[in-house]
């Protein structure tokens, strides 16, 4: 098949140009000619099993499926000839005979492909008088509800699992009429992309469990949005009824999220209705919280802030804060004489020069075309699921993907994984650098083994390669050294250095903040006063024990927050209810450096107000200049003006930063943040918290290390770290290297411990 | 004139043993080809000349199928033998496996040589345990004698052959479902094109032939394509195995030249049981439309004659029924078979076969309605020609045949709510 060859075909008398070998249905879709279909999906392999897209092709006696018929020059196609229509209507009749036709009680009713197509191709009376098939429903987890009696066996969900999610969790068992979709052995569907099967299912067989029976499709109003949980910035549709976000769907954007979204982006909305939403301003008085009205809360806040000057106040904001919020926060702090504004709350090593505009290093869509990639300290599949999906696509095309991580991660494609303790990782990264001929610092003393050499060769030989630093690397106590080594590898191999930014606006935040003391400094040398934006002290800091102590010691802590939480109530002095991502307008800069703005689509909960408005009013009350904006668009315009000349730039400076390693002995903690623990909203989405990926705090340790310490699965141990303590259960996990234990951060149970990395001791409780 | 090709060693004691096979000149053709390094094209030409058509049922010319493979394409190619033999009424390949396994092995090695494949699989029907063991034994003998493995007879040509026992699904007799099954997947037919010659087992060029077709190869090459062709008649070369069953005295497998009158075959099979009249014959396995007995007695057993009568020679499974049979009951049983065996992949077959069965079942049980006859015909038309594989057609044709020739029995059932036979 020659790719560039163009052929001319005729469809229903219309002449169309097409690429030779293209499938007929793609050509007609592009031309706006509608052919009914169920099993065809442009992102999935062709199954040709529903037989709904049968069309007549001249000189062919039988009708052919448009989804599986390649176009050829001179082909004449009739999509609505008597032969084609008879075939399409015939298929429709067959599909309906065993379909329950329970549309009035079906969640898909009103947005069902079968219903839609039946309107055009079905008959009003069924000739089928026999009993209909009934299939027992299966429980496949907290996210997707099944109603398999409605299944039309198109196998889109099966193909989605095999081809996109990369896990064969669903299959079609049984023959003929007895064929049914299921997991074979009863289990849940655990892919981080599993919710997409709800979208690909053309009928009401797979529906959203959190959404089902909550609303009808025609009651919903659709708004555009940007997903706030990772740096992909997936484009989403928010479906709203009576000021409530009822569900989230992907909005197609080929350059960003294609037509998919992660489960985290799809189901986090449930947390918006949490009982813990802060719905009115609150002030701590005599050790107790009192609800106050906005004027009082703002006056109180202004009064506190007015007493402060300069370095006495520091601002710590979630990296999922909007550009507008961060700009005004920065301006507010500047007005008070402080430049301490920080969003890198999960980083502890701030040595070395931070890049001016850290980004992925290449467009998101280009990630699937790399020939090789080395990921350092990244569980990309769970951290940025759709970037993981792009890398998987590259791997399936033959790209060599390698990982250097402190524990073995669960992957859905073949990749090299070098697993070593957090400090051993440095040796691996240095080894790869040395194999590429780089020199300096750790590299000179590094040992090169076969794997290092193989990875080095792959990177060097690749025409398009990426070195990517992930969330685990960013939290590494020697992050600066990892960055320096990664840059050396990139330079020596010709690969592109890139970052896998943690949060929705990590990249944007870097453009606006980080000029004063960093997060580590602000917490190590406590400020007199703090302003917190969108975070929970127990779960959103690299070192929650230290953070809580610093906040408790402060005279005042002003928290702009959407949620109440024990750790906030213990540390804050004022809580100002802030709008959630659906309730405010704002802008995120994603991993690729794309600025994506969104609008508030529902009224904020209770008395909550958009963060930018709260900050603006505070600016006014403090009589500071630069707070005259009437809308978030005006704020954005200012930001655009200030940052007009900023271009993505990952350069770190030529010198390797200080080579002093922070720690080299004892049992090392690996404190990664699980997929459903990344921010306050996700942590409050019950469906997500019920999945297998929502792991609890525990000590994950391999059998060898456990044996040495006399521990076995299920034991309770007292974990001590830096003078802090937690009591946790033991889980034996062969993915953890010797010399290390994985104790996840961001989850209840480990918040009393210190840094995400560091030495720990275990003692049987 | 009988037993000239696949059953030619039936008169020997334990003909499945290597020594017995060799005593009749077995493996000589292979030896000749390997020592003389016969050009593969010559072999393919000879097979084309023989007029051999696929014996599994579709009747596609074997030589032509082989010529679709580009012999010099790099990478592995495969020879696959279809011994799944699931078509109701068919039991001829079983006898080849049981009594003449070496001739099949020799045929497969020659096929591999002809298309440049070094690996073959014989997919044997799951229920064929005894034939499977016999074939496995023959493979061991052939390996020990140097006919399988590396560098066969010092020629530099390698060929290894494995058998694969199926799991009991009728659909796995469909060639692409069979390939899926060998690959360890659920047996579901692939959409064609691409055909196996280009995208076959594990995505590699593959020829897949019926047991009888492959077992005929050594004899065709030994005696010449012309000789084979002349055994039969125009457009139906050679002789063919017929597995004849039903209300006859000597059911069994008979190898006779193509074009032999059905009456002669019936006589070979001992004639009708108890001398009852021949009411109906299904000439080519259950998928072939039924032919009334008197009409059948005037036909010859070859592709064209049977096709002209509105049916198919198919796999050569001849099911003979006398006047004690109720055709509604017969159709009910056949429709139940297709309903159970539809793989469920594509809509018309998955839904249609169940519908057909249920309607016929109702009629048989005295709950038929007059509009059911039209409905049955309409449903078959909506299945036939619109499915991924031929199972849909196979389910539709028996219904169409029965309604064409024995409509009165269905009408009687509907009107009287009971059987016409014995009434």
Question: Residue B150, Cβ neighbours under 10 Å: how many?
Answer: 11
In three state form, how does the secondary structure of B110-121 look? HHHHHHCCCEEE
Local structure of A466: helix, strand or coil: strand
Token readout for A665 is 């002995």
Phi and psi angles of residue A696, each rounded to the nearest 5 degrees, phi first: -90, 165
Chain A positions in Cβ-Cβ contact with residue B360 (cut-off 8 Å):
none
Report how far Cα A406 is from the mean position of its chain's Cα atoms.
21
Q: Would you say the ipTM is above 0.90?
A: yes
> Of the candidates B347, B381, B385, which has its C-beta nearest A91's C-beta?
B347
Contact yes or no for B345 and A97 at CB 8 A? no
Contact A63, B386 (CB under 8 A): yes
Q: Which phi and psi angles does A732 have, rounded to 5°? A: -75, 125
Cβ atoms within 10 Å, residue A138: 20
Q: Chain B residues with CB inside 8 Å of A91's CB?
A: 347-348, 382, 386
**Helices within A690-742 (DSSP H only):** 703-708
Residue A690: exposed, middle, or buried by beta-carbon count in 10 A (0-12, 13-18, 19+)? Answer: middle
Q: In a mutagenesis test of the B interface, which of A83, A84, A90, A171 is the best target, namely the one with the most B β-carbons within 10 Å?
A: A90
Which residues of B sit within 8 Å Cβ distance of A? 169, 171, 186, 191, 339-355, 358-359, 362, 375, 381-382, 385-388
Residues A148 and A136 sit within 8 Å (Cβ to Cβ): yes
pTM recorded for the entire structure: 0.94
Q: Looking at chain B, which residue has its C-alpha nearest residue A155? A: B345
Q: For chain A, list residues with pLDDT below 50.
A: 1-2
Q: Determine, for residues A127 and B375 on separate chains, whether the beta-carbon distance falls below 8 Å.
A: yes
CB A287 within 8 A of CB A500: no
Burial classification of residue B154, based on how many CB atoms lie within 10 Å of its CB (0-12 exposed, 13-18 middle, 19 or more buried): exposed
Cβ <8 Å between B344 and A130: no
Tens of pLDDT, residues B303-332: 999 999 999 999 999 999 999 999 999 999
**Neighbour count for residue A563 (Cβ, 10 Å):** 24
**Mean pLDDT estimate for chain B:** 96
Contacts of A175 in chain B (CB under 8 A): 169, 171, 340-344
Q: How many Å apart are CA A558 and CA A528, to the nearest integer? A: 12
* CB–CB contact B347 A54 (8 Å): no
| A65 vs B contacts (CB less than 8 Å) | 191
Task: Give me the residue from B354, B381, B386 closest to A63, CB to CB.
Answer: B386
Chain B CB contacts of A127 under 8 Å are 375
Q: In the numeric block, which tokens belong to residue B391?
A: 């199972």
Contacts of A182 in chain B (CB under 8 A): none
- Cβ–Cβ pairs < 8 A, chains A and B: 94
Nearest residue on chain A to B351, alpha-carbon basis? A94
Strands B78-83 and B119-124: parallel
Tokens matching residue B323: 């006047």
What is the Cα–Cα distance from A594 to A256, expressed in whole angstroms?
9
Q: Which residues pair with A282 in a beta bridge?
A: A291, A575
Residues of chain B with Cβ-Cβ distance to A95 below 8 Å are: 347, 351
List CB contacts (< 8 A) between B355 and chain A: 94, 97, 128, 130
Place of tokens 């940025």: A384
For residue B343, the chain A residues in CB contact (below 8 A) are: 175-176, 179
Cβ contacts (< 8 Å) between B381 and chain A: which residues? 90
A666 torsion bin: left (phi>0), alpha (psi -120 to 50), beta (else)? left
Quick one: pLDDT at residue A5? 87
Q: Which residues of A touch B (CB under 8 A)?
A: 46-52, 54, 61-63, 65, 68, 87, 90-91, 93-95, 97-98, 127-128, 130, 152-153, 171-172, 174-179
Closest residue in A to B382 (Cα–Cα) = A90
Determine the pLDDT at residue A658: 58
User: Contact, A65 vs A53, CB < 8 A?
Assistant: yes
CB-CB neighbours of A501 under 10 Å: 32
Helices (H), B202-346: 211-223, 225-231, 262-268, 293-296, 303-308, 327-341
Beta bridge partners of A144: A208
A367, A392 in Cβ contact below 8 A? no
Residues of B in contact with A97 (CB under 8 A): 351, 355
Strands A556-561 and A529-533: parallel
Chain A residue at shortest CA distance from B350? A176
Distance, CA of A257 to CA of A278 (rounded, Å): 32
Task: Please write the tens of the pLDDT for every residue from A103-154.
Answer: 999 999 999 999 999 999 999 899 999 999 999 999 999 999 999 999 999 9
**Residues linked to residue A117 through DSSP beta bridges, in sequence order:** none
| Closest residue, chain A, to B337 (C-alpha) | A176
pLDDT, tens digit (0-9, with 9 covering 90-100), for B101-158: 999 999 999 999 999 999 999 999 999 999 999 999 999 999 999 999 999 999 999 9
Instruction: Name the nearest CA neighbour of A533 among A346, A685, A343.
Output: A343
Q: Do B346 and A48 touch (CB under 8 A)?
A: yes
Chain A nearest-CA distance from B130, in A, is: 27
CA nearest neighbour of A92 among B348, B374, B384, B388:
B348
pLDDT, one tens digit per residue, over B57-67 is: 889 999 999 99
DSSP string, A518-586: -HHHHHHTT-SEEEEES--TTTSSSSHHHHHHHHHHSSEEEEEESB--HHHHHH-SEEEEB--TTTS-E
The terminus-to-terminus CA distance of chain A in angstroms comes to: 68
| pLDDT score of A1 | 42
Of the CA atoms within 13 Å of residue A70, those in its CB half-sphere come to 14
In the three-class reduction of DSSP (H, G, I as helix; E, B as strand; rest coil), residue B194 is classed as coil
pLDDT for residue B73:
83
Question: Going by C-beta distance under 8 Å and a sequence separation of 6 or more, which residues neighbour residue A579?
Answer: A562, A600, A604, A605, A608, A609, A610, A611
Taking the CA of residue B147 and the nearest CA in chain A, the distance in Å comes to 39
Q: How far apart (Å, rounded) are the C-alpha atoms in residues B122 and B101? A: 11
Of B343, B348, B385, the CB nearest to A176: B343
Q: Which two tokens stand for residue A486?
A: 């990664």
- Residue B421 has a pLDDT of 82
- Whether residue B354 and residue A94 make contact (CB cut-off 8 A), yes or no, is no
Is there a contact between A175 and B385 if contact means CB atoms under 8 Å apart? no
Which residues from chain B sit within 8 angstroms of residue A126, using beta carbons? Answer: none
CA B43 vs CA A375, B40, B113, B211: distances in Å:
56, 5, 9, 18
Substitution target from B187, B350, B365 for chain A, most A beta carbons within 10 A: B350
CA-nearest residue to B342 within chain A is: A176
Q: How far is CA A375 from the centre of its chain?
A: 17
| B43 phi, psi to nearest 5 deg | -65, -45
Q: Give 10-residue mean pLDDT values along chain B (423 residues).
A: 88 96 96 96 96 93 94 91 96 97 98 96 97 98 96 95 95 97 96 93 96 97 96 94 97 97 97 96 96 97 96 96 96 97 96 97 96 97 96 96 97 94 68
């Amino acid at each position: 098949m020659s790719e560039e060859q163009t052929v001319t075909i005729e469809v229903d008398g219309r002449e169309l140009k097409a690429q030779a070998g293209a499938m007929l249905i793609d050509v007609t879709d592009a031309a706006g000619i509608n052919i009914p279909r169920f099993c065809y999906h442009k992102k999935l392999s062709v199954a040709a099993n529903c037989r709904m897209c049968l069309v007549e092709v001249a000189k062919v006696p039988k009708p052919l499926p448009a989804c599986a018929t390649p176009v050829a020059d001179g082909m004449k196609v009739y999509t609505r000839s008597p032969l084609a229509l008879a075939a399409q209507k015939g298929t429709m009749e067959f599909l309906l005979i065993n379909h329950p036709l329970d549309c009035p009680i079906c969640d898909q009713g009103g947005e069902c492909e079968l219903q839609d197509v039946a309107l055009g191709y079905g008959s009003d009376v069924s000739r089928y008088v026999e009993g209909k098939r009934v299939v027992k429903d299966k429980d496949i987890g907290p996210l997707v509800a099944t109603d398999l009696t409605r299944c039309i066996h198109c196998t889109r969900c099966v193909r989605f699992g095999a081809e996109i999610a990369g896990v064969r969790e669903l299959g079609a068992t049984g023959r003929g009429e007895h064929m049914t979709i299921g997991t074979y052995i009863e289990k849940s569907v655990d892919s981080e992309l599993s919710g997409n099967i709800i979208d690909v299912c053309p009928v009401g067989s797979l529906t959203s469990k959190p959404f089902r029976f909550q609303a009808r499709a025609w009651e919903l109003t659709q708004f555009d949005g940007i997903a706030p949980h990772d740096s992909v910035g997936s484009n989403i549709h928010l479906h709203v009824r009576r000021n409530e976000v009822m569900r989230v769907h992907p909005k197609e954007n080929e350059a960003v999220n294609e037509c998919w979204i992660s489960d985290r982006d799809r189901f986090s909305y449930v947390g918006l209705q949490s009982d813990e939403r802060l719905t009115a301003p609150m002030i701590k008085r005599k050790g107790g919280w009192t609800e106050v009205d906005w004027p009082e809360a703002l006056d109180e806040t202004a009064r506190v802030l007015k007493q402060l000057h300069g370095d006495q106040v520091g601002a710590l904001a979630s990296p999922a804060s909007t550009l507008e919020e961060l700009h005004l926060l920065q301006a507010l702090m500047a007005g008070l004489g402080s430049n301490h504004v920080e969003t890198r709350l999960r980083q502890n090593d701030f040595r070395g020069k931070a890049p001016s505009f850290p980004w992925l290093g290449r467009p998101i869509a280009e990630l699937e075309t790399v020939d090789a990639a080395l990921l350092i300290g990244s569980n990309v599949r769970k951290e940025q699921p759709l970037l993981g999906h792009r890398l998987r696509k590259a791997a399936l095309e033959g790209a060599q993907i390698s990982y250097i991580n402190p524990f073995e991660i669960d992957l859905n494609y073949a990749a090299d994984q070098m697993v070593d303790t957090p400090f051993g990782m440095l040796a691996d990264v240095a080894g790869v650098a040395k194999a590429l001929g780089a020199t300096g610092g750790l590299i000179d003393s590094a040992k090169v083994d076969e794997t290092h050499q193989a990875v080095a060769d792959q990177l060097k030989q690749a025409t398009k390669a990426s070195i990517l630093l992930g969330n685990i690397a960013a939290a590494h106590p020697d992050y600066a050294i990892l960055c320096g080594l990664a840059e050396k590898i990139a330079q020596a191999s010709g690969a592109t250095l890139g970052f896998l930014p943690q949060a929705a606006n990590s990249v944007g935040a870097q453009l606006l903040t980080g000029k004063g003391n960093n997060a580590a400094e602000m917490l190590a040398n406590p400020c007199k006063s703090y302003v917190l934006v969108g975070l929970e002290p127990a779960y959103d800091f690299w070192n929650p024990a230290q953070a809580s102590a610093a906040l408790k010691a402060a005279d005042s802590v002003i928290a702009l927050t959407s949620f109440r939480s024990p750790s906030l109530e213990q540390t804050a002095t004022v809580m100002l209810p802030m709008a959630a991502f659906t309730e405010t307008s704002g802008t995120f800069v994603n991993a690729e450096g794309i600025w994506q703005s969104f609008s508030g689509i529902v009224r904020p909960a209770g008395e909550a107000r958009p963060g930018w408005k709260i900050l603006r009013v505070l600016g006014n009350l403090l009589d500071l200049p630069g707070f005259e904006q009437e809308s978030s668009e005006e704020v954005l315009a200012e930001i655009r003006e200030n940052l007009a000349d900023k271009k993505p730039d990952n350069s770190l400076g030529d010198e390797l930063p200080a080579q002093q390693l922070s720690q080299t002995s004892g049992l090392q903690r690996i404190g990664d943040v699980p997929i459903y623990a990344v921010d306050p909203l996700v942590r409050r989405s019950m469906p997500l918290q019920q999945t297998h990926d929502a792991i609890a705090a525990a000590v994950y340790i391999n059998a060898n290390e456990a044996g040495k310490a006399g521990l076995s699965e299920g034991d309770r141990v007292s974990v001590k770290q830096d003078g802090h303590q937690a009591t946790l259960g033991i889980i034996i996990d062969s993915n953890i290297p010797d010399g290390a234990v994985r104790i996840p951060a961001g989850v209840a149970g480990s918040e009393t411990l210190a840094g995400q990395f560091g030495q720990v001791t275990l003692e049987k409780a | 004139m009988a037993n000239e090709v696949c059953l030619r060693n039936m008169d020997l004691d334990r003909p499945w043993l290597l020594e017995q096979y060799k005593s009749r000149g077995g493996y000589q053709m292979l030896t000749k080809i390997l020592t003389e390094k016969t050009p593969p094209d010559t072999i393919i030409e000879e097979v084309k000349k023989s007029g051999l058509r696929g014996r599994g049922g579709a009747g596609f010319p074997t030589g032509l199928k082989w010529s679709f493979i580009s012999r010099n394409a790099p990478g592995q190619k495969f020879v696959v033998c279809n011994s799944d033999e699931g078509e109701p009424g068919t039991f001829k390949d079983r006898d080849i496996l049981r009594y003449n396994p070496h001739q099949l092995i020799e045929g497969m090695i020659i096929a591999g040589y002809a298309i440049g494949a070094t690996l073959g699989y014989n997919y044997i029907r799951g229920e064929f345990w005894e034939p499977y063991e016999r074939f496995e034994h023959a493979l061991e003998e052939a390996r020990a004698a140097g006919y399988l493995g590396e560098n066969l007879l010092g020629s530099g040509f390698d060929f290894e052959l494995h058998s694969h026992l199926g799991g009991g699904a009728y659909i796995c007799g469909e060639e692409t479902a069979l390939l899926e099954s060998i690959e360890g997947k659920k047996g579901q037919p692939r959409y064609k094109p691409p055909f196996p010659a280009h995208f076959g087992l594990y995505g590699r060029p593959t020829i897949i032939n019926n047991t009888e077709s492959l077992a005929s190869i050594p004899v065709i090459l030994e005696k010449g394509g012309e000789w084979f062709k002349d055994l039969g008649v125009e457009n139906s070369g050679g002789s063919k195995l017929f597995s004849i069953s039903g209300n006859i005295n000597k059911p069994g497998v008979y190898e006779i030249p193509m074009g032999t009158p059905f009456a002669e075959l019936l006589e070979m099979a001992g004639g009708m049981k108890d001398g009852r009249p021949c009411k109906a014959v299904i000439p080519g396995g259950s998928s072939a439309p039924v032919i009334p007995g008197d009409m059948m007695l005037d036909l010859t057993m070859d592709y064209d004659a049977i096709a002209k009568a509105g049916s198919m020679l198919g796999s050569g499974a001849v099911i003979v029924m006398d006047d004690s049979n109720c055709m509604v009951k017969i159709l009910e049983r056949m429709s139940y078979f297709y309903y159970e065996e539809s793989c469920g992949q594509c809509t018309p077959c998955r839904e249609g076969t169940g519908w057909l069965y249920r309607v016929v079942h109702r009629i048989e049980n005295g709950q038929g309605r007059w509009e059911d006859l039209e409905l049955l015909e309409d449903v078959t038309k909506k299945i036939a020609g619109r499915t991924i594989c031929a199972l849909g057609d196979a389910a539709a044709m028996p219904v169409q045949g029965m309604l064409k020739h024995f409509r009165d029995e269905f009408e009687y059932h509907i009107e009287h709510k009971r059987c016409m036979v014995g009434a």
